[in-house]
Amino acid sequence: MGLEKFKEGESLTMGVELELQLVNPTDYDLSASALDLLHLLERAPFPGEVKPEMTESMIEISTDVHTRYEALLAQLRRMRDMLLAAGDRLNIGICGGGTHPFQQWFDQRIFSKPRFKELSGLYGYLAKQFTVFGQHVHIGCSSADEALYLLHALNRYVPHFIALSASSPFSQGVDTLFDSARLNSVFAFPLSGRAPFLLKWDEFEKGYFAKMEATRVVTSMKDFYWDIRPKPEYGTIELRVCDTPLTVERAAALACYLQALCRMLLERKEPPPAEDDYLVYNYNRFQACRFGLDGTIVHPKTNESISLREDIFATLRQLTPHAEFLDSQAALDELYGVTARENNHAYYLRKEFTNEGGVPGMVDAAVRCFRAGKIQ
């Protein structure tokens, strides 16, 4: 079959996908209501795309292609408002968060769609444990080689996105002590982790992918659950490490952070990516998942141990001219506030667990945040 031809287009376009939780507003457990919600949403044009996900207690929304922060944020807000209106009619709560804090994986039902049934047959109980919720960000690339360059140049910044988006501190009713427990579920899949270090599309397509296809382990890029993967049919790279934030406002800010980073990296003023950069990749990723913004990472070029929080501050300052060019300084200002004062959504959820006296109250807080567009 082979890979689709890489759709060359405009650099630095962006699109966002969000996996969202469907919640019973009585007991705040997950609600297997995806089919009912999707049927209701079919009655009127939806300002984007909405579709089912692996289990019946989740949906995924996708934006159009954007180049500017304000337009992306405006569409995400329209999508949220339409989802909330439909959810209110059906008595379904909707929220972000990388995990539902107390749902039991064995209670989940696989959505009746051929690919999901196929994955369930292949991965067994892991498919139901994949009832976790992430934000994916696509960035447009002018060529396939540019896509691979960005994919690997971004490797040292992956912990930034994990820590800033982290919103999954609880799983199966207990505090995991991780800020992002969601990624532990993703890592269980055999084709997760990092992409192979190749910088030429011809080598990737005719070498690595052709060999993998010959093993019959994979048939398309969908079979890879890498932290960042190329998407040739869209002409993008796709960042997949983010938890779904509690607000679409945070989701838009994260997308624009990635866009600005890619613009800076395309200037090629930083040392080029190398295979040895990945020597510290898993350690850095663990630090971000476990400790969030309080993690300590190792710089892959200098081997210096640095505060993740301070590295984000330094990067945000470095991105100022790029954010000004892209009209996204307001997005970066929000992330500066997260890093300096507010902390990530995992911190907020733990605080709500204490304030509300349990995990149902935590879900209630997440539902209210999604509706209000801000921490309550």
72 within some domain: yes
Q: Which helix (H) or strand (E) holds 181?
A: none
Q: What is the pLDDT of residues 55-106, one digit of tens each?
A: 899 999 999 999 999 999 999 999 999 999 999 999 999 999 999 999 886 7
Residue 110 has a pLDDT of: 77
Residue 190 has a pLDDT of: 84
174 within some domain: yes
3 within some domain: no
- CA gap 63, 51 in Å, rounded: 12
Q: Please, which residues have CB within 8 angstroms of residue 184's CB and are 6 or more apart in sequence?
A: 176, 178, 289
8 within some domain: no
- Residue numbers in the chain where pLDDT is lower than 50: none
Work out how many domains the chain is built from and give that number: 1
Residue 231 has a pLDDT of: 96
- Please state whether the predicted TM-score (pTM) of the whole model is above 0.85: yes
Residue 90 has a pLDDT of: 97
- CA gap 2, 276 in Å, rounded: 29
Mean pLDDT of the chain: 94
6 within some domain: no
- CA gap 283, 305 in Å, rounded: 11
280 within some domain: yes
Note down the domain range covering 268: 14-372
Q: What is the pLDDT of residues 215-251, one digit of tens each?
A: 888 888 988 999 999 999 999 999 999 999 999 999 9
- CA gap 161, 167 in Å, rounded: 12
- CA gap 137, 239 in Å, rounded: 5
273 within some domain: yes
248 within some domain: yes
Residue 348 has a pLDDT of: 97
Note whether 41 and 82 are within 8 A (CB). Answer: yes
Token duo for residue 133: 């919720």
Residue 1 has a pLDDT of: 60
| CATH number of the domain residue 310 falls in | 3.30.590.20
Residue 330 has a pLDDT of: 98
